[in-house]
Amino acid sequence: MENTGFFSFLLDNLSQFYSYTGFANFTLGHGIMIAIGLIFIYLAIAKEYEPMLLVPIGFGIIVGNIPFMPGYQLGVYEDGSVMNYLYFGVLKGVYPPLIFLGIGAMTDFSALISNPKLMLIGAAAQFGIFGAYIAALFFGFSPEEAGAIGIIGGADGPTAIFLSSRLAPELMGAIAISAYSYMALVPVIQPPIMKLLTSKKERVIRMKAPRQVTKLEKILFPIVGLLLTTFIVPSGLPLLGMLFFGNLLKESTVTKRLADTAKGPLIDIVTILIGLTVGASTQATTFLTPKSIFIFILGATSFVVATTTGVLFVKFLNLFLKEGRKINPLIGNAGVSAVPDSARVSQVVGLEYDKTNYLLMHAMGPNVAGVIGSAVAAGILLSFLS
Amino acid sequence: MKRYLFGIALIVAIIRPGVLQSQSISDLRINEVMLVNQSNYMDNYGNRSAWIEIMNLGYNKVNIANCYLTDNLNEPKKYRIPSGDPLTLIPLRQFVVFFADGITQHGASHLNFTLDSTKRFIALISPDAKTILDSITIPALKANTTYCRIPDGSDNWTISETTTPKSTNDVFTQKVSAGEKFRNFDPTGVIMAISAMLVVFSALLVLYRIFRTIGKINQRAVVRKQEKAQQPKIAKNEAETEISGEVFAAISTALYMHETESHDRESEIITIQRISRHYSPWSSKFYGLRQIPTRTVMHQQKK
């Protein structure tokens, strides 16, 4: 009799334990998301597509989709859980400005300063953001959601996370994953568009070597850049302020230790946290929705529009430039701020047509201008829609 | 000098005094007033009286202490709000309520005058007792109704039966998000796209213009610097022409000797100092060998 009682007690406990396990709470959604996480990790390790981002995000997706019984402060959306505390930095837009600090400390704006008209290409590529905004409104998204989706076209992960955390936090996971996925796919998406929109003659245009930039100009750039852009769009201050501050740390040359920390350990720590928590925020229940599919489609659209407008704008600009001062339209794609991937694409495609025409340094100009442009665009969306 | 004065004037014009005061008592507004309180808001003593709600419109804390409340502009110092009371520190976008019951011994929030259906004026005066921060003449009100600004802090005064002491007056107004407001005027998003792109372009265009100018100025400065650096060189060249023939002869002789005299590169150092090599068994090869390796011995061993 006692034995029966003991076994039933044991069975009860075991069945209760089983109800807590991942096996008992597993759904097809969890399986799909874990598979997506594994694909991300595969792409990062085997294909080396943005490994610094895709490994933390991919692993975060797996972490966020381990099935469990709710109510035990485990999940990223459960108050008081460790993941929830870490996710706070994403939700409140703390991490993206810190990443911008690191980006500022590692970015050399010389190419842009030596040929400032390249800034306009960085502005032109922001059409992708607003093209996607229009498309998202057409598909029935609210203006706030449309703004957050549109920023994918800026090709800037931290900006996308920052803006979506303010405008549409519920879509942040899908937007961040979409933005980083397309950034990793820049070498696949951009070249066909660039080739389609340019003639052979245009692709071999040789640009004048950039002049040497003085230290004074390099120091003035972050100060003037900050004052000007944030006076026009104060809502972009968290991103632009940190970007230019990081750059001043680098260019002043007297704060080498701070610059080294910003572009080294700090950005690494924040990248780990942001990657893991954004990945973990893609729980099957919130991520696997028709909206996410639309977000991916619109994200691709915005990338295509951004690349197209960047290239076409250079062609337009060339109409007014004298022979010898013309810009190779293959650097137009670099207006999207996927640094330095899109500039590298310009270089690779350029070398296909002329083995001695190195476009990398020229493409870095619009590339870093794109970072400023997308942060300004995010500020505008924020001030209009929040 | 004139240019400097113009610059200072420009800065003063941009940074207006109003802006400087933006995080200050100028953010205070009389936001809601009740004259006849029969069954409405009660004070801590369980009494009902006329009340005045003051709002801090700013985005920073404002200390209302030492400001004055009065029902008569001829007596601007009628009630000085005491300092040192936590009540007087109004957090951002928050409210404080004063009871016009004439019972000051009930605390800092109780005024030394009363308001009712006949006394219908209230003014908030700054600590200098001269500047009127806000004032309002209230129309005749039914019991338990208020005269309030909707939305909070706006110039739109309304008589309301819904009273909201210490909270926003906008509770019953329908909240429309900024995005929805934008969509009403721009359903397709085209206006947004155009206006936002204009802003992005203008921001980067101005940055372009500034850095083009800075670049030009800088290049000119570099050229000037180079020209300056070349001037002493020319002077130096002129000085070189005055070098005597003996110097050239000496240089030529040295070059000739260098070209013609062939000798190996020496590894030793020539010195006039005394060199002595001290003996030490530690550096002796003899002591370092355990067995002297002679060819004869090796052959014998093989055999």
Nearest chain A alpha carbon to B212: A116
B22 has pLDDT over 60:
no
| Average pLDDT score over chain B | 80
Out of A244-248, A261-265, B56-60, B147-151, least confident range: B56-60
**Contact: A224, B218; criterion CB under 8 Å:** no
**Contact: B204, A123; criterion CB under 8 Å:** yes
What is the Cα–Cα distance from A88 to A97, expressed in whole angstroms? 14
Three-state DSSP string of B6-61: HHHHHHHHHCCHHHHCCCCHHHEEEEEEECCCCCCCECCCCCECEEEEEEECCCCC
Nearest chain B alpha carbon to A365: B208
Q: Which of B188, B204, B214 is the closest to A137 by Cβ?
A: B188
What is the Cα–Cα distance from A239 to B1, expressed in whole angstroms? 39
B171 vs B160, more confident: B160
* Å between A225 CA and nearest CA of chain B: 7
B16 has pLDDT over 50:
no
**Contact: B204, A142; criterion CB under 8 Å:** no
Q: Which long-range contacts (CB under 8 A, 24 or more apart) does B194-202 make?
A: B196/A129, B196/A130, B196/A377, B196/A380, B196/A381, B196/A384, B197/A123, B197/A126, B197/A127, B197/A130, B199/A232, B199/A233, B199/A376, B199/A380, B200/A123, B200/A126, B200/A373, B200/A376, B200/A377, B200/A380, B201/A120, B201/A123, B201/A124, B202/A232
Q: Is the Cβ–Cβ distance between A385 and B179 less than 8 Å? A: yes
Find the helix or strand (DSSP H, E) in which B147 lies: strand B146-149
3-state helix, strand, coil in chain A (%, to 5): 75, 0, 25
* Å between B168 CA and nearest CA of chain A: 20
Out of A42-56, A158-172, A364-378, B232-246, least confident range: B232-246
pLDDT tens profile A6-22: 888 889 889 888 888 88
B254 has pLDDT over 50:
yes
A3-17, B17-31, B167-181: which is most confident: A3-17
A positions 219-248 inside 8 Å of B (CB) = 220-221, 224-225, 228-229, 232-233
**Contact: A224, B207; criterion CB under 8 Å:** yes
Domain positions in chain A: 88-385
What is the Cα–Cα distance from B274 to B255, expressed in whole angstroms? 32
What is the Cα–Cα distance from B274 to B270, expressed in whole angstroms? 11
Residues 6+ apart with CB under 8 A from B146: B32, B33, B34, B159, B160, B163, B164
* ipTM over cut 0.90: no
Strand partners, B70: B123
Residues 6+ apart with CB under 8 A from A42: none
pLDDT tens profile A38-92: 999 998 999 888 888 889 999 999 999 999 887 788 888 888 889 999 999 988 8
A positions 161-180 inside 8 Å of B (CB) = 167
Averaged pLDDT, B54-69: 86
- What pLDDT score was predicted for residue A37? 93
pLDDT tens profile A119-164: 899 999 899 999 999 999 999 999 999 999 999 887 788 899 999 9
Q: Is the Cβ–Cβ distance between A223 and A79 less than 8 Å? A: no
Task: Name the pLDDT band for B280 (thresholds 50, 70, 90).
Answer: low
- What pLDDT score was predicted for residue B57? 85
Task: Name the pLDDT band for A34 (thresholds 50, 70, 90).
Answer: very high
Here the tokens at position A119 are 């800034």
- Please state, for a pLDDT cut of 70, what percent of chain B lies above it: 75
* Å between B56 CA and nearest CA of chain A: 22
- What pLDDT score was predicted for residue A205? 92
Q: Which of B179, B187, B197 is the closest to A130 by Cβ?
A: B197
- What pLDDT score was predicted for residue B17? 45
Averaged pLDDT, A208-235: 90
3-state secondary structure of B99: strand
Averaged pLDDT, B164-181: 78
Cα→Cα distances A183→A178, A283, B276, Å:
9, 22, 73
Task: Name the pLDDT band for B301 (thresholds 50, 70, 90).
Answer: very low
